[in-house]
Every structure is written in C-alpha cells, then in structure tokens.
C-alpha cells in the first residue's frame, strides 16, 4: 500500500460512534471497521443494541455495543472506562447520537426544547470530556461531531435543533482551540438531506403519481439534484478520522450536494 493510501487507514484504532445502532451512525461505524478500526458503539435500547451487533457481524464487522444514555455523565464515564478496559483507549469519537422535534417555536414546550439540546449538544460535550484525557495520554485523537445544515441555516419548526446544532459547530471549534496542542483534531460533518428510513415518507410518490412536494423542493435546492445517501458520508468520515486529516482542525465539512453554495433556480 502506498504512503498516501496508508494515511487513510484506521488499522488498530479504537473508534466509538454514539448512536451507532442504525442510520448514519451505523454506516460510519461500518466504514471505520472496513478501514481497520476496532468499532464500539452505544445505544439506549438493549434489543436494538443486540440487533445492531448482529447486523455489523453480518456485514463482516466485529463491533461491540454498550448500553448507555449519553446525556448521563456518570453512565458515559463508566462506559468510557469499560471500553478502555475491554477494547482499548479510544482514538476516534463520532458524536452522532441526536434527535429532532419538528414543532413550531411558540407551540414548543421548554421541556421539549431542553430534551433536544440535551441530546444534540450536551451529550457531545459529555462524551468528548470523557474521552479527551485518554487521547491526551495517547498523544493523539480524532473527534467528529455530526452537525447539520441547521448549524448554518434556520428553518421553521426546528428552533431547538438549529440552536443545538449551531452550538455544536461552536463546540467543535472550541475543542480544536483548547486541545489542538495535544494533537487532537476536532471537526464536524454537516449532512445535507439524506435518504434514510426516517425521511422515506418525504420521498414517497403522491396518490396521483407525482413526486412529494418536499422531495421536489429538496432536489430543486440541491445542485446534485438528488438526496444524499448514508454512503456519501462515509468517505468524509474516514478522512476526518484518519492521519490524512492531521492538519485539519475546527472545520465543518458540509456533505450536502452543494445546497449551502446555491441560491436556487429562478422560478
């Protein structure tokens, strides 16, 4: 293998992906395993955790799941210690676990707002805090925060999500600022609109055979003229987790098919 290809290898690295039981987290963790990493992930449902382990195994990846609520600092610290003992010191962290509640702002309760911010912003702080000491001890580390286009843009009904993801962008920059001298790189990935089971209803044809209005809207706003796939995120994630990105720090890589660069077609 040439030196440049070797720089993208994750051979022997321990990678923790939060919320790695399905969707974007599963795809990224699987890609890390294919690049040579020892994969660990968390979930908050025991049955889903076991199912995910089986699906990783079916894909040829040995991944170990841990039951943990990433908004609970004591649970996270215990999980990090257990991973260190059973697998090794964490080299790579992907803060992927998250949620969205689409509720108009004036109809949203403060409790719902706090719940979204707790998982989408507080949890990345808690998990990063738990793994950074080990990274400092080891002399290197990679943290990837799954941000969003809502780290840059607002949209109706997503006030809590946008506030949290905007905060996550700035947490990314601050981790870079505070720990760059310890050879820790912290960057973000901002997915565009990704075709997942959760977004499937927005892409289903209408009864008359026409495309869903939201599907038309997204494709018209995207220079690539399509939704993204989870596989579109795996290459950028491997890059940011690997030695190939050792001088990339504090950046948000938007994998959005060009939406943020585009004003849209004239009607």
Give catalytic residues, as residue numbers: 161
Nearest in space to 219 (alpha carbons), one of 254, 189, 258: 258
Angle at 78 between CA 75 and CA 80, to 5 degrees: 110
Tell me how far apart the alpha carbons of residues 131 and 143 are, in angstroms, rounded to a whole number.
9
Burial 237-264 (b: 16+ CB within 10 A, else e): bbbbbbebbeeebbbbbbbbbebeeeee
The distance from CA 76 to its chain's CA centroid, rounded to whole angstroms, is 17
**Exposure string (b/e) for 7-21, b if CB count within 10 Å is 16 or more?**
ebbbeebbbbbbbbb
């Amino acid at each position: 293998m040439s030196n440049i290809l070797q720089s993208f290898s994750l051979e022997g690295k321990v990678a923790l992906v939060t919320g790695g039981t399905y969707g974007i987290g599963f795809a990224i963790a699987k890609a890390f395993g294919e690049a040579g990493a020892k994969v660990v992930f968390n979930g908050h449902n025991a049955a889903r955790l076991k199912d995910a382990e089986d699906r990783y195994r079916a894909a040829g990846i040995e991944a170990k799941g841990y039951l943990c609520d990433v908004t609970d600092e004591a649970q996270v610290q215990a999980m990090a210690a257990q991973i260190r003992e059973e697998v090794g010191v964490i080299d790579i962290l992907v803060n992927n676990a998250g949620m969205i509640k689409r509720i108009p702002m004036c109809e949203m309760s403060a409790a719902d707002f706090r719940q979204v911010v707790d998982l989408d912003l507080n949890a990345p702080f808690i998990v990063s805090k738990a793994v950074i000491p080990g990274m400092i001890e080891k002399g290197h580390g990679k943290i990837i925060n799954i941000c969003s286009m809502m780290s840059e843009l607002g949209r109706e009904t997503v006030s809590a999500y946008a506030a949290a993801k905007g905060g996550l962008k700035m947490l990314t920059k601050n981790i870079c600022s505070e720990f760059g001298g310890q050879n820790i790189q912290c960057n973000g990935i901002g997915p565009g609109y990704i075709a997942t089971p959760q977004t499937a209803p927005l892409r289903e044809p209408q009864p008359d055979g026409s495309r869903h209005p939201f599907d038309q809207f997204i494709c018209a706003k995207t220079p690539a003229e399509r939704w993204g796939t989870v596989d579109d995120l795996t290459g950028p994630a491997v890059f940011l987790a690997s030695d190939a990105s050792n001088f990339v720090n504090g950046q948000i890589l938007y994998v959005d098919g060009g939406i943020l660069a585009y004003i849209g077609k004239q009607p």
